Amino acid sequence: MTTIEKSVDVEVPVTTAYNQWTQFESLPAFMEGVEKINQLSATRTHWVTKIGGVSREFDAEITEQHPDERIAWHTVGDTEEGTSHGGVVTFHRISDTTTRVNLQMEYQPESFVEKAGAALGVVGSRVKGDLDRFKDFIEQQGTETGAWRGDVDAAPQHRTGHPEDGRGEPPLASGSPIL
């Protein structure tokens, strides 16, 4: 697995930054290589990407979402080679008018080209560029284009042992794929 973590400070309140990020269908406006995102339900999106001349489609599911704090996701279903990934974007109030947006993502490079790109930091550079374009996008807008303020709790993890008799391990704290 390859892990990428990048952040950017944006000159908007935390609620504005978070609200804009929940507008998944607008992400192609600042994410290089993302051609289209369709919101299928409150927790599922369908992505169409074209990166390095290779077109891919996949679904992603939100595994945890809390307003003004975090959105965690992972790919689901029959993903094509190279599209299996998960991550979390978190929003940190720096001041009333400044927010730090931190994105952490894990993915498994499959092909030789993907492995070479991971080793050279190509994906990390792309993620940093996407965050910088998000900064430009939201600061030029000055306000969000929409908002979804719903909460999605992390799925409880399975217990080991016999839960009905009180024995066994407690569930893990997070349903996020990486945190």
Question: Which residues, including other chains, have CB under 8 Å from residue 56's CB and lie 6 or more apart?
Answer: 47, 48, 49, 50, 80, 82, 83
Q: Which helix (H) or strand (E) holds 106?
A: strand 98-107
Helix pair angle (14-21, 122-141), 10° resolution: 120
Measured between alpha carbons, how far is 143 from 179 in angstroms, rounded to an integer? 29
Q: Is pLDDT of 89 > 70?
A: yes
Confidence tier at 82 by pLDDT (50, 70, 90): low
Specify the pLDDT at position 60: 95
In this structure, CATH architecture of domain 2-144: 2-Layer Sandwich (3.30)
CB count within 10 Å of CB 137 equals 16
CA-based end-to-end distance of the chain: 14
Grade residue 97 by pLDDT with cuts at 50, 70 and 90. very high
Q: What is the pLDDT of residues 27-51, one digit of tens each?
A: 999 999 899 999 999 999 999 988 7
Identity of the residue numbered 55 = S
Give which of 109, 102, 107, 110 is closest to 128, Cα–Cα: 102
* Residue 9 tokens, joined: 């400070």
Q: How far is CA 114 from CA 87, 119, 122, 127, 162, in A?
A: 18, 9, 9, 15, 43
Res 79: pLDDT: 54
Range 145-155 average pLDDT: 88
pLDDT digits (tens, 9 = 90+) for 156-178: 754 444 434 333 333 323 333 33
- pTM comes to 0.82
Q: Is the pLDDT assigned to residue 96 strictly greater than 90?
A: yes
Sole residue written with tokens 């979390």: 88
